[in-house]
Structure 1
Amino acid sequence: MRHAWRRPRRRAKSRAMNDYILETDNLVKEFKGFVAVDNVSLKVRRGHIHAMIGPNGAGKTTCFNLLTKFLQPTRGAIRFNNIDITGDPPAKIARRGIVRSFQISAVFPHLTVLENVRIALQRKLGGSFYFWRSDKTLSRLDTRAIELLAEVGLDAQNRMVAVELPYGQKRALEIATTLALEPELILLDEPTQGMGHEDVDRVMQLIKKVSADRTILMVEHNMKVVAGISDTITVLARGSVLAEGPYAEVAKNPQVIEAYMGTAENEASGSQA
């Protein structure tokens, strides 16, 4: 199977090639007898962009919910930096350095772009978020907030109210607030969902940019994005791993073509290209 987009040049890695930041062993999630995730074993290499794809109902979002502990696995284990985190609550998962975005952009619409990032940066002050603190008290965070906004291309919009941003820039702001939490591993759930061509290209380049010195695991339907920036792809079908590897390898797998890739590619060429 051929694809119009070229695979990215593989980035040099500073760590050993067998160094995995996230691993799951035979992860299972059952809902009253229905098996949504069926013995999924993942190995996410440090510093890579790892995409998880599959048809609707394949178990991708359930896997994300298990990794971030919004759901407790029925069986199996999760390790982060070689530490078993299977029993950790969501807040502890975030403190360890795993931060997740969601399919719907989650920003404070009536605060400015700068204020949104400052809220995320308040973790450095210790304790809870301080919505009632004076602007003067929080101004110490401005320099770092502007740096993060520059990283996602929003420093010029820092005084804009978030609700006034175009959709693609709202997603960029969400990524900036995610970076403010200093994650080692970023989980992106459908980062380009609902975007037009220009926004898809912008967010795709943004993901590539922020992946430097970080690891990204993403669920994504847009095959242009998956083919263009992913180092490794895991294909799920009916809750199980169907195939895994680089895009060029996975795209030739007959089972993947039958279960997912052919349909997804046709959709991409018809509505995304």
Structure 2
Amino acid sequence: MSEYILETEGLSKDFRGFTAVQDVRLRVRRGSIHALIGPNGAGKTTVFNLLTKFLQPTRGRIVFDGQDITATAPAEVARLGLVRSFQISATFGHMTAMENVRVALQRPLGTSFQFWTPVASLAPLNDRAMALLEAVDLASYADIPAAEMPYGRKRALEIATTLALDPPLMLLDEPTQGMGHEDVDRVVALIRKVAAERTVLMVEHNLSVVETLSDTITVLQRGQILAEGPYATVSKDPRVLEAYVGVEA
């Protein structure tokens, strides 16, 4: 088994002559928290979309857990265990926290879209759903509609629904975006907790969060890797200071 759960070679994406991502060679170690950072327009979200197959690469190769997924469909990539969250919370607002997690638990059973399934038949999933809510400190919100939950708790709920698929690799897209200090601290603690049993790759603008959580940081600029390494090294790189922080080398 490779020490890397996710690897890319020459990953590139062109849009009508514009190269958004160019020759990205990414290595994500198993059991690590790996951050992908860079200024706006650096290509971070495009890389995420390529990894999860929302976009097809123009060139290059993606290997997940030893399997080449370059030409694999998005749904199959998720079934293999590479699952992402999005910048905008993707929960069902009219459903309770428990119901949201229960829907996610139905996916591996192939019953997510059997809308006429009797509610009673879903009862066996309740214990697992509650355990996931407890894991993200949302047990007290089990019967609350997602639309009525505070923003930070909605993001925690989204992580719970992602965990329902038991993915070995979670991709988190701006997990603390738009949060106040208290919610940021709560989500940071949650990410650290869930990362104890899986690998996390995240895009994050908050550098204090990146410093606190990340084992490895990859810095993108204009679709290419500018620097890579631990925070202590990357944060002192003159190229990073100039490109990301705005300090001239």
Task: Summarize the alignment of residues 68-107 of structure 1 with structure 2, pairs less than 5 Å apart.
Answer: 68-107=52-91
Q: Which residue of 1 aligns with 2:14?
A: 30
Q: Which residue of 2 aligns with 1:267?
A: none
- With normalisation by structure 1, the TM-score equals 0.88
Contact kept, 8 Å, 2:104 with 2:165, in 1: the verdict is yes
Q: Which residue of 2 aligns with 1:7?
A: none
Matched, 1:200 2:181: no
Q: Which secondary structure state, in structure 2, belongs to the residue aligned with residue 138 of structure 1?
A: helix
Q: State the one-letter code of the partner of 1:39.
A: D
- With normalisation by structure 2, the TM-score equals 0.97
Q: State the one-letter code of the partner of 2:153.
A: Q
Q: State the one-letter code of the partner of 1:214.
A: R
Sequence identity percentage: 66
Q: State the one-letter code of the partner of 2:174.
A: E
Q: Which residue of 2 aligns with 1:123?
A: 107
Q: Which residue of 2 aligns with 1:177?
A: 161
Task: Summarize the alignment of residues 133-152 of structure 1 with structure 2, pairs less than 5 Å apart.
Answer: 133-152=117-136
Q: State the one-letter code of the partner of 2:134.
A: A
Contact kept, 8 Å, 1:119 with 1:129, in 2: the verdict is no
Q: Which residue of 1 aligns with 2:232?
A: 248
Q: Which secondary structure state, in structure 1, belongs to the residue aligned with residue 116 of structure 2?
A: coil
Deviations 1:170-227 (A, max 9, x none): 0000000000011111000001111111111110110000111100000000011100
Q: Which residue of 2 aligns with 1:9?
A: none
Using the TM superposition, give the Cα deviation of residue 127 of structure 1 relative to its aligned residue in structure 2, in angstroms.
4.6
Q: Distance in 2 between matches of 1:230 and 1:138?
A: 38
Using the TM superposition, give the Cα deviation of residue 128 of structure 1 relative to its aligned residue in structure 2, in angstroms.
4.3
Matched, 1:164 2:142: no
Q: Distance in 2 between matches of 1:248 and 1:102?
A: 28
Q: State the one-letter code of the partner of 2:164.
A: A
Matched, 1:39 2:23: yes
What are the ranges of 5 or more consecutive residues in structure 1 without an aligned counterpart?
1-15, 264-273
Q: Which residue of 1 aligns with 2:46?
A: 62
